[in-house]
């Protein structure tokens, strides 16, 4: 949902009504926190990033580049979006329609002008010369616009608890960015530091949940670390492996062999802000088949802004405006048909044996069958599917 410079309190009721009508039970608002002027200045000095802005928008206008939502200066709602009062208004509007509010938390880095640089200098990873390191993961060069927090620092663990307790009072759930980077084994390998006995997440999550017991915690997770993060206290984890298998036409059926206790705590998706648009990755029929898969499996389902209308342009998160794109009316009608049916699936879930390339599962007596191939199979057209109530 693009606010185009308006407060969260200004979102028309009809917009919330339209989302609720799809059977959605939560809305994730990415980027409500105060963005960093210092980080934005650094980003505007990166030729590759600047080129991506022009590629997305064509003409970049004044005010289009507002900074990365993952370069957080403070966990304070940006005044451009109405501040804390604007966010509270939006949360009430969602709650009135039976929907929850999900926000972001970035555990591993902050902006270079974050107050902790002066107030809590012990929370950062520093080099031999005392300089604060840039944020990174173990497989890529450092990100230029953020500085690295130290998962092994007791001071950070205390500061993170205080931050999450405050954020948790303003929402119903948190999507935790790159959560696996704070797991002891990963952090030690990334930074060459000796890990403490206690993991970062379990005690932190327990403390936050003591204050906010209903708060949902969703881990963005990669590298097959979903189960680890579930065991450390997260309610849900991203299912990147399913996404990859759908894109690469891999073994989707084999992915569903894991136990239901694991499957029920995965977040299924075919598009998000880090991946290319589904409409640009999948063919029209394949996109519909993939949408049926992600929408009818157990667990949570994530639908990205623009996915339901067939947007094809990948938008850098630094931008406050999306380009105009034609609406794919047929795709929008398909999702309007699919989502209420998927939301209506109830009962016990189980895998159903099917001959490849078919995949199948059932909710009680309602059976879903999808053909994940380019040729007819089992009476289904290529990328075809059967849904209950269809």
Residue-wise pLDDT tens digits, 117-166: 999 999 999 999 999 999 999 999 999 999 999 999 999 999 999 999 99
The alpha-carbon radius of gyration of the chain (Å, integer) is: 21
Structure tokens at 151: 């998962």
Distance CA 120, CA 118 (A): 6
Residues 6+ apart with CB under 8 A from 1: 11, 15, 27, 29, 305
Note whether residue 89 is domain-resident. yes
Q: Check whether 3 has a pLDDT greater than 70.
A: no
Q: Chain-wide mean pLDDT for the chain? A: 94
Confidence class of residue 1 from pLDDT cuts 50, 70 and 90? very low
Q: Check whether 303 has a pLDDT greater than 80.
A: yes
Residue-wise pLDDT tens digits, 14-69: 999 999 999 899 999 999 999 999 999 999 999 999 999 999 998 899 889 999 99
% of the chain exceeding 70 in pLDDT: 98
Residue-wise pLDDT tens digits, 83-106: 999 999 999 999 999 999 999 999
Note whether residue 353 is domain-resident. no
Phi, psi dihedral angles at 254 (to 5 degrees): -65, -30
Residue 50 and residue 83 in contact, taking contact as beta carbons nearer than 8 Å = no
Query: What average pLDDT does range 217-224 have in this prediction?
Result: 96
Specify the pTM.
0.95
- Residue labelled with tokens 């599962």: 361
Provide the 3-class DSSP secondary structure of residue 200.
coil
Note whether residue 368 is domain-resident. no
Query: What average pLDDT does range 332-356 have in this prediction?
Result: 93
pLDDT, residue 63, reads: 87
Note whether residue 247 is domain-resident. yes
Note whether residue 343 is domain-resident. no
pLDDT, residue 220, reads: 97
Helices H / strands E in the chain, number of each: 15, 15
Note whether residue 331 is domain-resident. no
Q: What is the CATH number of the domain that holds 271?
A: 3.20.20.80
First to last CA, the chain: 30
Structure tokens at 105: 């938390």
Distance CA 390, CA 309 (A): 21
Query: What average pLDDT does range 67-90 have in this prediction?
Result: 95
Residue 103 and residue 28 in contact, taking contact as beta carbons nearer than 8 Å = yes
Query: What average pLDDT does range 260-268 have in this prediction?
Result: 97
Q: Check whether 250 has a pLDDT greater than 70.
A: yes
Q: Which segment of 3-17, 116-130, 164-178, 281-295 scores lowest on mean pLDDT?
A: 3-17
Task: Note down the domain range covering 149.
Answer: 8-320
Query: What average pLDDT does range 285-310 have in this prediction?
Result: 96
pLDDT, residue 344, reads: 87
pLDDT, residue 387, reads: 85
Residue-wise pLDDT tens digits, 326-339: 999 999 999 999 99
Note whether residue 214 is domain-resident. yes
Confidence class of residue 5 from pLDDT cuts 50, 70 and 90? low
Note whether residue 363 is domain-resident. no
What domain count does the chain have? 1
Provide the 3-class DSSP secondary structure of residue 86.
helix
Query: What average pLDDT does range 258-276 have in this prediction?
Result: 96
Confidence class of residue 168 from pLDDT cuts 50, 70 and 90? very high
Confidence class of residue 2 from pLDDT cuts 50, 70 and 90? very low
Secondary structure of 270-336 in the HEC alphabet? CCCCCCCCHHHHCCHHHHHHHHHHHHHCCCEECCCCCHHHCCCCCCCCCECCCCCCCCCHHHHHHHH
């Amino acid at each position: 949902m693009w606010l185009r410079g308006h407060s969260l309190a200004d979102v028309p009721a009809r917009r919330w009504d339209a989302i609720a009508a799809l059977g959605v039970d939560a809305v994730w608002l990415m980027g409500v926190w105060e963005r960093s002027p210092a980080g934005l200045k650094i980003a505007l000095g990166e030729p590759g990033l600047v080129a991506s802005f022009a590629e997305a928008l064509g003409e970049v206008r004044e005010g289009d580049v507002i900074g990365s939502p993952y370069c957080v200066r403070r966990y304070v709602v940006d005044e451009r979006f109405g501040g804390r009062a604007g966010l509270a208004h939006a949360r009430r509007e969602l709650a009135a329609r039976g929907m929850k509010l999900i926000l972001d938390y970035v555990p591993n880095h902050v902006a270079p002008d974050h107050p902790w640089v002066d107030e809590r200098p012990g929370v950062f990873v520093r080099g031999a010369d005392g300089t604060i390191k840039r944020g990174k993961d173990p497989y890529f060069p450092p990100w230029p616009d953020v500085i690295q927090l130290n998962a092994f620092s007791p001071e950070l663990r205390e500061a993170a608890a205080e931050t999450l307790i405050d954020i948790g009072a303003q929402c119903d759930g948190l999507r935790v960015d790159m959560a696996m980077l704070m797991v002891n084994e990963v952090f030690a390998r990334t930074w060459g530091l000796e890990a403490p006995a206690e993991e970062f997440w379990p005690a932190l999550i327990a403390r936050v949940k003591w204050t906010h017991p209903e708060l949902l915690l969703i881990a963005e997770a990669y590298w097959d670390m979903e189960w680890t993060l579930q065991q450390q206290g997260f309610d849900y984890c991203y299912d990147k492996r399913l996404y990859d298998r759908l894109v690469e036409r891999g073994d989707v059926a084999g992915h569903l062999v894991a136990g239901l206790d694991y499957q029920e705590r995965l977040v299924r998706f075919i598009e998000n802000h880090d991946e290319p648009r589904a409409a640009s990755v999948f063919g029209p029929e394949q996109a519909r088949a993939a949408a049926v898969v992600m929408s009818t499996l157990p667990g949570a389902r994530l639908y990205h802004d623009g996915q339901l209308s067939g947007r094809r342009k990948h938008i850098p998160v630094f931008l406050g405006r999306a380009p105009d794109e034609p609406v794919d009316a047929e795709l929008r009608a398909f999702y309007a048909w699919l989502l209420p049916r998927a939301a209506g699936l109830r009962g016990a879930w189980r895998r159903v044996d099917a001959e490849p390339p078919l995949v199948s599962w059932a909710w009680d007596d309602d059976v879903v069958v999808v053909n994940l191939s380019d040729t007819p199979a089992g009476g289904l057209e290529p990328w075809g599917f059967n849904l209950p109530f269809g």
